[in-house]
Amino acid sequence: MSGVAAQERRRRATAAPPQSPATSGRRPRLSRKHREWLAAGLFLAPDVLGLLVFVAIPMVLSIGLSFFQVSGFGSYEWIGLGNYRRMVNDPLFWDSMKITGLYVVFLVPLLFCVSLGLGLLVKQQLPGVGVYRTMLFMPYVISLVVVGVLWKFLLDEQTGMVNRAMRAAGFDGESWLGSPSLALGCVIAVMVWVMMGYYMIIFLAGLQEIPQEFYEAAKLDGAGPWTTFRTITWPLLRPTSFFVLLMSTVAAITGGLDLIFVLTNGGPANGTSLAIFYIYQQAFGFGEYGYASAMGSFLVLIMVLISAVLFTFTRGGRFDDGE
């Protein structure tokens, strides 16, 4: 940090020319330097104020709220660690954490592999490759609410296309959204369908950054596709892989509320009640803002820990550990 500051001072010392008499003459009250400060302040004011009020302060408030019992409209009572004690003893919360764990453990690797596979596929010079990229990315632009409606229609036990296709192939239809584990599987599958195109594009961008010479050299050495992937693509793709892992993990833990609302509403038998859904219900269903904030803060802590572990294991995606 101090290095940056020192660099900045040096730059300023060399970059700022002696003030020209022409400009300082026109505006006698402020020096050129101070006018630049004033301009910077005014340019930054709207965003800094907005981020403060709608992001930074709520974040701090969220931790603060977790020590209060908030009831009805505006009455706050300090209860210390009461909400956290309640959280520890709330079996429904731990069920929702378990479901979140399962969800993350299946969704993140699946999404990673599918997107990487798609990225590798659409990097090839295939006839019509632009059309495939377009088609694979398309589900991402549709809202999760519409996605939920659409898949509810397709997964319907009696009339849905999925069961229709299965019966046509000689299987029995399944009650896809009727059993807790199947429903969670469906949520995961639908999420993969929605997000795979997005991460495919990110992987594609990463793949296109890898210098072509490496592949030509490998070709000269007679390396097969697998060796090429293992020794060139995979190591050089590490920053992208790290980014995708981190983003998709955070998104899996805190996102998807819209889809759950429409597709399963947390059911059946709380089988798809992810932690973020349970927290939402406690806050906006039962007005338990303090308790929900405690659980939310716990979830943030878990996310920070996961990010730290990811950083340690992948060294932030850098490939400084040799081959």
Partner 1 sequence: MASDALTTRAHTTAPTAGRRRLPSSRAGLTVLAVVLSLISLFPVLWMVTSSFKTRATVTDGRLIPKDFTLQNFVYVFTEVPFARYLWNSFFISTVITVAALFFHSMAAYALARLRFPGREKLFGAIFATLLVTAPVVLIPLFLVARQLGLLDSYAGLIIPAIFNAFGIFLLRQFYLGLPKELEEAAVIDGCGHWRVYWNIVLPMSRPVLSALAIFFFLANWNAFVWPLVATSDQDLTVVQLGISSFQTQYTSNWNYILAAATVAALPMLVLFFVFQRQIVESIKTSGLK
Using CB under 8 A as the binding rule, the residues of this chain from 258 to 317 that contact partner 1 are: 258, 261-262, 276, 280, 283-284, 289, 292-293, 296, 299-300
Instruction: Print the binding letters for residues 198-217 with partner 1: x by CB under 8 A, - otherwise.
Output: x--xx-xxxxxx--x--x--
Residue 39 within binding range of partner 1, rule CB under 8 A: yes
What lies within 8 Å, CB to CB, of 36 at 6+ separation is: none
Whole-angstrom distance, CA of residue 135 vs CA of residue 127: 14
Part of the chain binding partner 1 (CB under 8 A), chosen from 84-92, 99-107, 180-188, 190-198: 190-198
Residue 56 within binding range of partner 1, rule CB under 8 A: yes
Asked if the bond preceding 28 is cis, omega within 30° of 0, the reply is: no
Q: Which is nearer to partner 1, 55 or 169 (CB)?
A: 55
For residue 194, the one-letter residue type is V
Taking the CA of residue 310 as centre, how many other CA atoms within 13 Å lie in the half-sphere pointing to its CB?
21
Among the listed residues 10, 19, 31, 40, the single contact to partner 1 using CB under 8 A: 40
* Residue whose pair of structure tokens reads 């998807």 in the numeric block: 256
Cβ(317)–Cβ(246) below 8 Å: no
Compute the least distance from the CB of residue 143 to partner 1, in Å.
Answer: 4
Which contiguous run of DSSP H or E holds residue 70? Answer: strand 68-71
Can you list the alpha helix ranges (DSSP code H) found in 124-179? 129-137, 144-154, 161-168
Compute the least distance from the CB of residue 82 to partner 1, in Å.
Answer: 17
Q: Give the bridge partners for 75, in sequence order.
A: 71
Compute the least distance from the CB of residue 139 to partner 1, in Å.
Answer: 6
* Residue whose pair of structure tokens reads 């997000």 in the numeric block: 195
Among the listed residues 130, 170, 172, 321, the single contact to partner 1 using CB under 8 A: 130
Residue 92 within binding range of partner 1, rule CB under 8 A: no
Whole-angstrom distance, CA of residue 134 vs CA of residue 250: 26
Residue 4 within binding range of partner 1, rule CB under 8 A: yes
Residue 121 within binding range of partner 1, rule CB under 8 A: yes
User: How is residue 76 annotated by DSSP?
Assistant: E
Part of the chain binding partner 1 (CB under 8 A), chosen from 92-100, 105-113, 118-126, 172-180: 118-126
Compute the least distance from the CB of residue 309 to partner 1, in Å.
Answer: 16
Q: Which is nearer to partner 1, 17 or 80 (CB)?
A: 17
Residue 19 within binding range of partner 1, rule CB under 8 A: no
Least Cα distance to 244 among 100, 55, 103, 107 occurs for 107
